[in-house]
């Protein structure tokens, strides 16, 4: 049976409507992944002809690139530090804001507002604030008398803590909103019957609220882990991975392989090597996500 021309025209319309998004998706997401899978086998600096080197890039990555593994470790430290602060803070905020009172919406709007601002621009402001000699924070602390020496917030020992705190500032509102919407799904009558039974505040928290939030918590934690790996805009502006590579996170290192900055070790792009390191990083992230999903499923069965 031959489709009528009207039918053909109709199907044509469907494909035409799908096409713009499909072209963008294939060109800007699928193609770059395939491209990386190809160039990981080449030595290519973006200028001279690419030279096929097989597994050389991987040998280099696994045998003699300490900077890469250090940056991966830094990323884990950063992600754990960020999560350890941001999740409890966001949860506390959500618990407080879950009870109706005057000014609740205003507080929510304020705490969520950093997520609306450019992290790069605000990182620049934090860079000025945290400056050793004329930064506002040190000046304030000296003035109040909490410290008697200026503190080097972006120096070797505190830089990581500083970038973590800036990340907490920028993201806590996000997770607060996730938790709030999760809390609102818990039926009120469960609490009412618990009250009749004479449950204490803590029993309500650990026996009802947290278990009921399980599914939300699982999704939120996964989003938080992925987001922590991707946070490079503010670190790039505040420290460029310094001092002495203290805040060099893995995505920033990869970025610098493709787009070297004067401060980085090598001054020419290492495209092939960057592609190989990207693919390995993508796989490591995939494995972390898979492990997380498995573990959280198991925990679900226990509780």
Partner 1 sequence: MKKIAGRTVGIAFIVVMIAFTLYPVAYTVFGSLKSNLELQTGGGFFPTEWKFSNYAEAFQKAEFLKYTGNSVLLSAMTMLLSLVTSSMAGYVVSRHDFAGKKALMAAYLSVMFVALGPIVLYPQYMLMKELGLTGNLFGLALVLTGGQASNIFLIMGFIKSVPKELDESALMDGAGYFRIYRSILLPLIRPILGVIALFSFRLAWNDYITSLVFSIPNPGIKPLTVAVVGLRYSANAAAELHIMTAGAAIAIVPILIVYLFANRQFINGLTAGAVKG
Site string for partner 1, 48-87 (x = CB under 8 A): ----------------------------------------
Instruction: Give strand pairing partners of 278.
Output: none
Q: Which two tokens stand for residue 89?
A: 């803070």
Considering only 247, 271, 273, 276, the residue that binds partner 1 (CB under 8 A) is 271
- Tell me the closest approach of the beta carbon of residue 258 to partner 1, in angstroms: 4
Is 281 one of the binding residues for partner 1 (CB under 8 A)? yes
Q: Which of residues 198-217 bind partner 1 (CB under 8 A)?
A: 201
Binding to partner 1 by residue 17, rule CB under 8 A? yes
Residue 224 within binding range of partner 1, rule CB under 8 A = no
Q: Does 141 bind partner 1 (CB under 8 A)?
A: no
32 binds partner 1 (CB under 8 A): yes
Asked whether 279 and 40 are in contact (CB, 8 A), the reply is yes
Out of 8, 33, 132, 205, the only residue in the binding site for partner 1 (CB under 8 A) is 33
State the Cα angle at 116 between 113 and 130, rounded to 5°. 75
**Beta carbon nearer to partner 1, 108 or 264:** 108
Q: How far is the CB of 42 from partner 1 (least distance, A)?
A: 13
# residues contacting partner 1 (CB under 8 A): 84
Which residue, 191 or 258, has its beta carbon nearer to partner 1? Answer: 258
Site for partner 1 in 228-257 (CB under 8 A): 229-230, 232-233, 236-237, 251-252, 254-255
Does 191 bind partner 1 (CB under 8 A)? Our answer is no
Span near partner 1 by CB under 8 A; candidates 78-86, 153-161, 175-183, 188-196: 175-183
Are the beta carbons of 211 and 127 closer than 8 angstroms?
Answer: no
Please say which residue, 41 or 302, places its beta carbon nearer to partner 1.
41
Minimum Å gap between C-beta 20 and partner 1 is: 4
Q: Could you count the other beta carbons within 10 Å of the beta carbon of residue 152? A: 18
126 binds partner 1 (CB under 8 A): yes
- Please report how close the Cβ of residue 173 comes to partner 1 at its closest, in angstroms: 8
């Amino acid at each position: 049976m031959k489709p009528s021309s009207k039918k053909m025209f109709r199907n044509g319309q469907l494909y035409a409507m799908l096409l713009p998004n499909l072209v963008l998706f294939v060109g800007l997401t699928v193609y770059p992944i395939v491209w990386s899978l190809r160039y990981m086998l080449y030595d290519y600096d973006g200028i001279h002809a690419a030279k096929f080197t097989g597994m050389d890039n991987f040998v280099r990555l696994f045998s003699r690139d300490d900077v890469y593994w250090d940056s991966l470790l830094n990323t884990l430290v950063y992600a754990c530090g960020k999560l350890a602060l941001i999740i409890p803070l966001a949860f506390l905020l959500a618990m407080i804001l879950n009870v109706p009172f005057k000014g609740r919406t205003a507080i929510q709007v304020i705490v969520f507002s950093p997520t609306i601002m450019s992290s790069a621009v605000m990182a620049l402001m934090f860079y000025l604030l945290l400056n050793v000699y004329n930064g506002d924070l040190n000046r304030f602390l000296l003035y109040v008398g909490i410290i008697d020496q200026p503190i080097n917030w972006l120096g070797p020992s505190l830089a990581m803590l500083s970038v973590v705190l800036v990340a907490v500032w920028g993201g806590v509102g996000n997770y607060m909103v996730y938790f709030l919407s999760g809390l609102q799904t818990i039926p009120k009558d469960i609490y009412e019957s618990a009250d009749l039974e004479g449950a204490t505040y803590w029993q309500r928290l650990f026996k009802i609220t947290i278990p009921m939030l399980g599914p939300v918590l699982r999704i939120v934690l996964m989003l938080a882990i992925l987001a922590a790996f991707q946070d490079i805009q503010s670190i790039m502006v505040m420290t460029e991975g310094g001092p002495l590579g203290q805040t060099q996170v893995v995505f920033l290192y990869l970025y610098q392989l493709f787009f070297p900055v004067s401060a980085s070790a090598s001054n020419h792009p290492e495209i092939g090597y960057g592609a190989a390191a990207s693919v390995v990083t993508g796989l490591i992230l995939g494995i972390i996500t898979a492990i997380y999903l498995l573990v959280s499923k198991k925990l679900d069965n226990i509780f």
